[in-house]
Amino acid sequence: MRIEEITIRHLKMAMKAPFKTSFGTIHEKELLLLEVKDVAGTIGWGETVAFVAPWYTEETLKTSWHMLEDFLMPTLLHKEIAHPDEVSKLFAPIRRNCMAKASIEGAVWDIYAQQTNQSLAQALGGNKNLIEVGVSVGIQPSVGKLIELIKSYVQMGYKRVKVKIKPGYDIEVIRAIRTEFRDLPLMADANSAYTLGDIDILQQLDAFDLLMIEQPLAADDIVDHAKLQKQLKTPICLDESITSLEDARKAIELGSCGVINVKIGRVGGLTEARNIHDYCREKGIPVWCGGMLEAGIGRAHNVALTSLANFVLPGDTAGSDHYWYEDIIQPEVIVEDGFIRVPQAIGIGYTPNIDVIEKLTITKKVYK
């Protein structure tokens, strides 16, 4: 495989509803789509999941484009590679910038799967045909609205519900949900909104039988999380803190978490995501696949990754129609009874919808 041409498109997609977290609100989604062509003419697609502003991680859409144009594409273009695992090795001298790296690496995995006549899931070593999915619910203007939304997701069959929390929007919100939905598999994601000084509040959450509490403390911390975990019954799930296999190893050794949320973009690609999965499986740490409000290409990659055996907890990959009026792939990602069927066709198993993609494209540039 030798990559000869890459087209980057900047897309803007209207969201059905704004998504609010402890760090900010996303009203419409902007993303980069990478159309990557190899010497044999095989085309793979990648999606850059960085947001416009550096609130969730330090990367933005603009820094991703800069990294791709000035460092990552020049490193990869016209180089002979035998396996997508080589891409992260080629990129290793370039520090961090995981989302930029993941977007191009994902497209190479797609090409590799096609050229070896496998589905992307198979190429990654996945063996599930159906994956269980949950849904992530942003901060709502009122608890009544939140309960109403959760009711609709439960009716749709989603296997677990995650709600965002922040100081002042936590105990009472979770209590209200638990009162209404006694047995619902429920979890809370704080996106780093607390410190160890808030341990009283976090311990009160132990009363509500949450599956886990996601990233309560700082985005770059594993030390305070270890201290906190010792004083909590509820497992901590790390999201922001885990950007590599090394991070995962250290967090597990320290006892900073009981669960890990794996996001392909946050860890720099599918190879690293698979490696974290394999390591956690050995260590008995369950993982699930997180989301970045992806459009269809990113969503397809999440589905393939989630087919690996140790993705034992429902992830955040809701159906396309949860976020989009019209997704950029055909068929769209469909959730039935809380399950997504993992495509068996070669490659990602969904076809990019060029008409929709072109309609949503703001700018486009071709690199050779």
Query: Which member of 162, 263, 365, 368 is catalytic?
Result: 263
- 3-state SS class at 267: coil
Check residue 285 and report its DSSP letter: -
Select the binding partner of residue 318 from ligand OSB, Mg ion, none (C-beta < 5 to 8 A, by kind): ligand OSB
Q: Which residue sits closest to Mg ion, CB atoms considered? A: 239
Partner in contact with 292, chosen from ligand OSB, Mg ion, none, beta carbon below 5 to 8 Å by kind: ligand OSB
For residues 214 and 327, which CB has a smaller minimum distance to Mg ion in the complex? 214
Cα 225 to Cα 137: distance, rounded to the nearest angstrom: 24
CB of 9 or CB of 29, closer to ligand OSB: 29
For Cα atoms 54, 56, 61, give the angle at the middle one, nearest 5 degrees: 45
Handedness of CA 61, 63, 64, 66 (dihedral sign): positive
Residue 261, beta-bridge partner list = 288
- Locus of tokens 């699930």: 288
Question: CB under 5 to 8 A by kind: which of Mg ion, ligand OSB, none does 327 bind?
Answer: none
Q: Two tokens at 126?
A: 């996945």
Q: What angle do CA 366, 65, 4 make, to 5 degrees?
A: 35
The CA angle 285-122-307, to the nearest 5 degrees, is: 40
Active site residue 364: no
Instruction: Between 286 and 351, name the residue whose CB sits nearer to Mg ion.
Output: 286
Residue 56 partner contact from ligand OSB, Mg ion, none using kind-dependent CB cut-offs of 5 to 8 Å: ligand OSB
CA distances, 84 to each of 89, 105, 123, 146, 148 (Å) = 9, 7, 10, 42, 44
Of the candidate spans 21-29, 73-81, 183-191, 305-313, the one that interacts with Mg ion by CB under 5 A turns out to be 183-191
Asked if 239 interacts with Mg ion (CB under 5 A), we say: yes
Q: Is 321 annotated as contributing to ligand binding? A: no
> Considering beta carbons, is residue 119 or 136 the nearer one to ligand OSB?
136
Q: Contact 232/207 with Cβ under 8 angstroms?
A: no
Our finding on whether 47 is near Mg ion (CB under 5 A) is: no
- The answer to whether 239 is a known ligand-binding residue is yes
Interacting partner of 165 out of ligand OSB, Mg ion, none (Cβ under 5 to 8 A depending on kind)? none
Catalytic residue among 20, 162, 164, 166: 164
Judged by CB, which is closer to ligand OSB: 44, or 314?
A: 314
Pairing verdict, β 3-21 and 24-38: antiparallel
Query: Is 200 annotated for ligand binding?
Result: no
Task: Please indicate whether residue 263 is annotated as part of the active site.
Answer: yes
Q: Which residues belong to the annotated binding site for Mg(2+)?
A: 189, 214, 239
Interacting residue ranges for Mg ion, rule: CB under 5 A: 189, 214, 239
- Which of the residues are catalytic? 164, 263
